[in-house]
Structure 1
Amino acid sequence: MSSIPKIVILGAGYGGVLTSLRLQKELNYNEADVTLVNKHDYHYITTHLHMPAAGTDNPENARVNISKLIDEFKIDFVKSTVVQIRPQDRKVILEDGTLSYDYLIIGLGGEPETFGIPGLAENAMNIRSINSVRLIREHIEYQFARFKREPHRTDYLTFIVGGAGFTGIEFLGELADRIPELCKQFDVDPALVKIINIEAAPTALPGFDPELVEYAVQVLQKKGVTFRIGTAVKECTPDGVVVGEGEEIKSQTVIWTGGVRGNRLIEEAGIETMRGRVKVDEFLRAPGHENIYILGDNSLVFNEEGGRPYPPTAQIAMQQGVNCAHNLVASIRNQPLKSFVFHNKGAVASLGKGEAIGVAFGKKYKGRTAALLKKAIDLRYLFIIGGIPLVLRKGKFL
């Protein structure tokens, strides 16, 4: 190892940003050489993307410039795309150069999980990034404009959301709020618009408290959402989806929120994965690679009690970032590493304006109280990454 260890962090998502900020705080100058690589010069708040996707908020409000978060005297920021990870050479190949490392942190974010459904990758849109949500918003508005020219084409006004997990449910709430505005703007009869949610599992929000799930479904049904629960998407075509036993639902808009898999770059690097995600050791390291840490959507952490993996949420990625930074500092200083233990503080799902459901600190919340709780969680995150100035700048938009 070189005299000053080189730490390379791939991805400025929740895990990568929290690792960077903690290292910045805990490392002394010249104790390590830290580089953060990200393909955009901003960090985006994934848990906020459903709003700009539906057009109920500006995409700018979901992003924070990385230069506003990191101390450039302590962390080098490289704006580039990762092409290849080469653990045997301790190198990362970027589209415009190469970085060598002593410690590598992979937090590159996941890719949409299509479960092998034909046509899904080609014909459905995903709420994954600032650019993808811009596209969805413009696409939805365009369908209203198209309908005005071809009023017999009701498939322009049929919006299908695949998956009833957190992202799907939150997007449905915003979309249902947005539709009346678009109907007014384009002079379209709201009765012609259909919002259909299709979920293969026997319930919406699988694994969430059943009483709250029932409340969420009722709120969204009142806003005009039709649920097709326990119904699998068999195929996605340019004209809609095929479900169940060959039933076709015609639509020009399919938005897939049915899950995330890991990143193909990790598989290509020869690191052992399950659905593209790495079952990390207790210190968040890749099996057989003591100097590679894996965070967020790319990692698989199992719940000791149930033996099931935790879903990849912002909350777990943030806690992993803090733990990872601690272990990197400990490694450099030859101190013992700390095992990662996930402390689940609960979860809140928004259902559109002023409505949400949540479980926090062992209590259930719904309606306006849950919506305020969601806002508090978002503000707390802004405070963690950017302090009071970021809260003041962005907080009013959340």
Structure 2
Amino acid sequence: MSQIPRIVIVGAGYGGIVTSIRLQKELNYNEADVTLINKHDYHYITTHLHMPAAGTDDPKNARVDISKLIDEFKVDFIKSTVVEINSEEKKVILEDGAVSYDYLVIGLGGEPETFGIPGLKEYALSIRSINSVNYIREHIEYMFAKYKNDESRKDYLTFVVGGSGFTGIEFVGELADRLPKLCNEFNVDPSLVRIINVEAAPTALPGFDPDLVKYAMDVLTEKGVEFMISTPIKECTPDGVILATGEEIKSQTVVWTGGIRGNSLVENAGFEAVRGRVKVDEYLRAPGFDDVFIIGDCSVMFKEDGKPYPPTAQIAMQQGATCAYNLAASIRGDKLKAFKPQIKGTVASLGKGEAIGVVGEKKIKGYTAAIMKKIIDIRYLYIIGGIPLVLKKTRL
């Protein structure tokens, strides 16, 4: 190890950005060189992406310039794409060079999990970045314009969303709010527009209380969302989707939200991974690598009942804080701290003014839950950027 150890953080998602910010506070001057690598010069708030994707919020509200979050005198930032992680030579290979490390933090984020369903990669859209949601929003508006040029094509006005988890439900809620406005703008009969949410599992929002799930589905059904539960998608084609029942839904807009896997770079780096996710130790390290910490979507930890913790922003943030502490402890030769997730609450939005959630052991719904969702969002903005960022980004 060099005289001053070098910490390299790849990925500026929830885990990576919190690790960087915490290291600025944890480390003393000249204790370590810290480098953050990200392919964009901004951090985007993943839990906000469903809104600009539907067109109900400005994409700018979901992104924050990294330069506004880190201290350039304490953290070096490199804008580049990681193409390989060489754990043997302790190097991160970039598209335009390489960076050596003494300690590595992998927070690269996830990739859509297609479960081998033919055609999803080729023909479905996914809510995964600022660029992708810009495309989805513009594509939806384009479908209305195309319909006005050929009103025989009802598939232009049929929107299929695969997956009824968090992202899928939050997206259809926003989409149901947005489409009536597009109908008015393009002079389209609202009765011709369909939003179909398809889910293979026996329930929407798995893990939520059945009463809250029923409330959510009732709210969204009232908004015009059609649910097809316990109905796997067999194939995605240029013309729509084919269900396991054999039924075909004609649609020129299929948005897949059915799952996330870890980053393929992690699998290719020689770590023990399943679907791109590494079962990390209690200190968030990769098995057999005391110098590699893995957080966020690329990591997995299990509860006492044997079920994995969900790859949520809440857990990634907590991992980032523990990771920063353990990096400082590793450098100083101090005792590391075991990561113990604290699930403080879960809230899913259902469009403007509506949500469901669990805070502690209390179930909340409707406007109360929507306010709690807002509070959670504000809290995160405050954690990474203080009051100025809260005032700049809060959606009124």
* TM tier relative to shorter chain: over 0.9
Letter in 2 for 1:74: K
Gap runs ≥5 in structure 2: none
For residues 173-197 of structure 1, the C-alpha deviation after alignment (integer angstroms, 9 at most, x for no partner) is 0000001000000000000000000
Q: Secondary structure at the match of 2:347?
A: strand
1:1-398 pair list within 5 angstroms: 1-304=1-304, 306-395=305-394, 397=395
Q: How many residues align?
A: 396
Unmatched 5+ stretches in structure 1: none
SS of the residue corresponding to residue 286 of structure 1 reads coil
TM-score (norm 2): 0.99
1:192-241 residue CA offsets vs partner (Å, 9 max, x unmatched): 00000000000000111111000000000000000000000000000000
The amino acid across from 2:355 in the alignment is: A
| Equivalent position SS for 2:73 | coil
Deviation of 1:281 (Å): 0.6
Three-state SS of the structure 1 residue aligned to 2:28 is coil
What is the CA distance between 1:365 and its match in structure 2?
Answer: 0.5
Deviation at 1:298, TM superposition (A): 0.3
Letter in 2 for 1:359: V
SS of the residue 2:274 aligns to = coil
Q: Matches of 1:228 and 1:394 in 2, distance apart?
A: 35
Q: Read off the aligned partner of 2:301 and give its amino acid letter.
A: V
Return the offset for 1:62.
0.3
Describe the superposition over 1:214-269 as per-residue Cα deviations: whole angstroms up to 9, x where unpaired: 00000000000000000000000000000022111100000000010011111111
Distance 2:310 2:153 in 1: 39
1-structure distance, mates of 2:238, 2:287: 41
In 1, the alpha carbon distance for the partners of 2:289 and 2:249 equals 47
For 1:289 and 1:298, locate their aligned partners in 2 and report how far apart those are by CA, in whole Å.
15
Report percent identity of matched pairs. Answer: 73
Q: Residues of 1 paired with 2:13 and 2:116: CA distance?
A: 26
The amino acid of 2:53's aligned partner reads A
Distance of 2:365 and 2:107 partners within structure 1: 33
Amino acid paired to 1:196: I
Distance 2:312 2:245 in 1: 33
User: Any runs of at least 4 consecutive aligned residues in structure 1 with deviations exceeding 3 A, and if so which?
Assistant: none
CA distance in 2, matches of 1:237, 1:64: 36
Corresponding residue SS for 1:99? strand
Q: Are the equivalent residues in 1 in contact too, given 2:284–2:339 (CA < 8 A)?
A: yes
Within 2, Cα distance between the matches of 1:244 and 1:11? 37
Residue 40 of structure 1 and its aligned partner are, at CA, apart by 0.3
SS of the equivalent of 1:135 reads helix
Q: In structure 2, what is the Cα distance between the partners aligned to 1:310 and 1:226?
A: 30
TM-score normalised by L of structure 1: 0.99
* Contact kept in structure 1, 2:52 and 2:137, CA below 8 Å: yes
Q: Give the letter aligned to residue 204 of structure 1.
A: A
Q: Which amino acid aligns with 1:183?
A: C
Which residue identity does 1:138 align to in structure 2? E
* Shift, 1:270, TM fit: 0.9
Q: Distance in 2 between matches of 1:109 and 1:16?
A: 9
> What amino acid maps onto 2:104 in structure 1?
L
Are the aligned partners of 2:231 and 2:245 in contact in 1 as well (CA < 8 Å)? Answer: no
- Whether the aligned pair in 1 keeps the contact of 2:295 and 2:316 (CA below 8 Å) is yes
| Deviations 1:264-313, CA, capped at 9 Å, x for gaps | 11111111101110000111111111100000000011112x21111100
Report deviation, 1:361: 1.7
